[in-house]
């Protein structure tokens, strides 16, 4: 993939992030799943990502990266007793690699 294509994909991805999450200040290290968004926005983003870049996301496990929305009492309970299992990080840089590959793959640890 050439630099012009990478730059174009970055611009398109930034535009998509702004459209869905309303966030303008995006860089390669931005953690998409740490934007404090609701699950509808996360679902919408993943579906737009698949469609706009023609990516096979069939092996993407949504719940390893995003929380499901919850009732307010459950949310308070989680703040008091945090879940020990931390979500995996989903960065802009990894999404660009996925876009270039054309299919989802797990980030290297």
Q: Is residue 106 part of a domain?
A: no
Q: How many domains does the chain have?
A: 1
DSSP character for 103?
A: B
Q: Is residue 87 part of a domain?
A: yes
Q: Is residue 107 part of a domain?
A: no
Q: Is residue 69 part of a domain?
A: yes
Q: Among 70, 36, 67, 65, which Cα is nearest to 49's?
A: 65
Tens of pLDDT, residues 47-81: 999 999 999 999 999 989 987 765 555 556 555 66
CATH number for the domain harbouring residue 21: 1.10.1200
Outline where DSSP puts E strands in the chain: none
pTM of the model: 0.81
Q: Is residue 15 part of a domain?
A: yes
Residues spanned by the domain of 47: 3-101
Tens of pLDDT, residues 6-37: 789 999 999 999 999 999 999 999 999 888 78
């Amino acid at each position: 993939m050439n630099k012009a294509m990478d730059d174009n994909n970055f611009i398109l991805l930034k535009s998509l992030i702004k459209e869905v999450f309303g966030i303008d200040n995006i860089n390669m290290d931005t953690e998409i799943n740490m934007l404090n968004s609701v699950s509808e926005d996360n679902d919408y983003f993943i579906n737009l990502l698949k469609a706009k870049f023609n990516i096979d996301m069939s092996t993407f496990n949504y719940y390893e990266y995003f929380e499901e929305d919850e009732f307010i009492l459950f949310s308070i309970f989680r703040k008091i007793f945090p879940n020990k299992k931390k979500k995996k990080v989903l960065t802009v840089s990894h999404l660009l690699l996925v876009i270039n590959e054309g299919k989802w793959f797990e980030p290297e640890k």
